Amino acid sequence: MIDEIKKRLSQITNPVSGKSFEVEQRWQHISMQEDKLVLEYNRDGISPTEKRLVEQEIIKTLSDLVGVDNIMVKTVSSQSQDVFKALDKVTPAPSSTKEASAPAQLKVGHGTIDKKKPVPGVGKIIAIGSGKGGVGKSTFTSNLALTLAQQGHKVGVIDADIYGPSLPMIFGKRNEKPRSNSEKKIIPIEAYGIKFMSFGFFINEEDPVIWRGPMLGGVLNQFLFDVDWNGLDYLLIDLPPGTGDIQLSMIQNAQVDGAIIISTPQDIALLDAKKGAEMFKKLNLPIIGMVENMSSFVCGDCGKEHFIFGHGGVHKAVEQLEIPFLGKIPLEMELRTGSDQGVPYMTQESLKDRAVWSSFLEIGKKVDDFFNPTVDKPKAGLFSKILGLNK
């Protein structure tokens, strides 16, 4: 089979020059390692966008021979625009922990973990997804983490969004570089009591990154299993926007306990959110519920509530999909400025009386109740009075 694979790969074309990889002598390495096909090519002069075309062509040409999940593509480049090269550029941050020894590095390639492996030291894992980008997923995830922490839990966050990893900015830790400990586990970065790990720490901000889906699954596995999470109650995963193969492959191997879907009230966003709900259902992942973000804006001058992105749509969707509604988060300037400045909303005590603050408290409680249902205290009714329960 390897000969057939090599023959087909020789015909892969460089989209820039139109010449075959064979002519340009780009293949550095082609081998089968157990059931994995490991490929390496020289990508000098091939931009990240074109790289994606190349990798699509590779998959197309081999799909009847090797399962897509078993193809691992590495690249080398003398100009080093490559993300995996960029990993080598990770510079160690001044060490704050004694056991910290080396700058942490991600391994290239696939996750090869067993199906649905639990993450050691982590209570519940929650995936946070949205059908489309820009609906406030990262803002929500970071502030939910802070809310759960305020409610007494130990919380971690994985920023699995390779397109726009934003947690380093939101948590004010853009220049940090994770290190690994003596057991070769990556030590998560900590901010406001939240431990977190982000793709953003391992790539150059200016490098557009296009990683193939199955590889991303592998890197997320590393964030789950090769990071020293050490005693978390909740680990939240900020997924890349969308409901495609990337998101699927990221979470299909790990034992995720529940999912939250974020949507704005618009119809289009809702349509995407429904796709998200279907994806999580396909994975047999319990849906904790849906959150409506940017639900309305209360004008500081006139006091009126404006429904900038429509109204009530998420309610309709949750009814149709028969999933819980977790709450709505209005538009507030401080949510954005807090994130931009690395001082997230839920760390700012001065905002305690605001609508967004109470929304997060309510949502945090519902999320916790999903896993640890609390029995309601008896209300002041006849039976309670008879039993003397409300004294």
Cα 138 from chain centroid? 9
State yes or no: residue 329 binds ligand ATP (CB under 6 A).
yes
State yes or no: residue 249 binds Mg ion (CB under 5 A).
no
Stretch that binds ligand ATP, among 85-93, 253-261, 302-310, 326-334 (CB under 6 A): 326-334
Stretch that binds ligand ATP, among 7-15, 21-29, 106-114, 333-341 (CB under 6 A): 333-341
DSSP assignment of 169-232, as one string? HHTT-TT---EE-TTSPBPPEEETTEEEEEGGGTS-TTS-----HHHHHHHHHHHHHSB---SE
DSSP assignment of 180-196, as one string? E-TTSPBPPEEETTEEE
- Write the interaction track for Mg ion spanning residues 134-153; mark x where CB under 5 A is met and - where it is not: ---xx---------------
Burial class (CB in 10 A: 0-12, 13-18, 19+), 354: middle
State yes or no: residue 328 binds ligand ATP (CB under 6 A).
no
- The nearer residue to Mg ion, 138 or 249, going by C-beta atoms, is 138
Which of positions 151-190 make contact with Mg ion (CB under 5 A)?
Answer: 161, 166
Residue 359 interacting partner from Mg ion, ligand ATP, none (CB closer than 5 to 8 Å by kind): none
Residue 135 interacting partner from ligand ATP, Mg ion, none (CB closer than 5 to 8 Å by kind): ligand ATP
Residues with Cβ within 8 Å of residue 7, at least 6 apart in sequence: none
State yes or no: residue 137 binds ligand ATP (CB under 6 A).
yes
Cα 11 from chain centroid? 36
Which of positions 149-178 make contact with ligand ATP (CB under 6 A)?
Answer: 161, 164, 166
- The nearer residue to Mg ion, 170 or 287, going by C-beta atoms, is 170
**Locate tokens 């790969």: which residue?**
9
Query: Nearest-5° angle of CA 282, CA 283, CA 287?
Result: 90
Cα 361 from chain centroid? 22
- The nearer residue to ligand ATP, 74 or 315, going by C-beta atoms, is 315
The answer to whether the Cα torsion of 111, 125, 137, 165 is positive or negative is: negative
Quick check: helix, strand or coil at residue 258?
strand
Stretch that binds ligand ATP, among 63-71, 132-140, 281-289, 382-390 (CB under 6 A): 132-140
Residues with Cβ within 8 Å of residue 122, at least 6 apart in sequence: 156, 229, 232, 235
State yes or no: residue 146 binds ligand ATP (CB under 6 A).
no
Which of positions 228-247 make contact with ligand ATP (CB under 6 A)?
Answer: 241
Among 135, 146, 155, 318, binds ligand ATP (CB under 6 A): 135
> The tokens of 236 are what?
């939240």
State yes or no: residue 263 binds Mg ion (CB under 5 A).
no
Stretch that binds ligand ATP, among 42-50, 95-103, 118-126, 130-138 (CB under 6 A): 130-138
State yes or no: residue 134 binds ligand ATP (CB under 6 A).
yes
**What is the distance between the terminal CA atoms of the chain, rounded to a whole angstrom?**
79
Which of positions 282-321 make contact with ligand ATP (CB under 6 A)?
Answer: 293-294
Binding residues (CB under 6 A) for ligand ATP: these are: 130, 133-139, 161, 164, 166, 241, 293-294, 329, 331-332, 335-336, 339
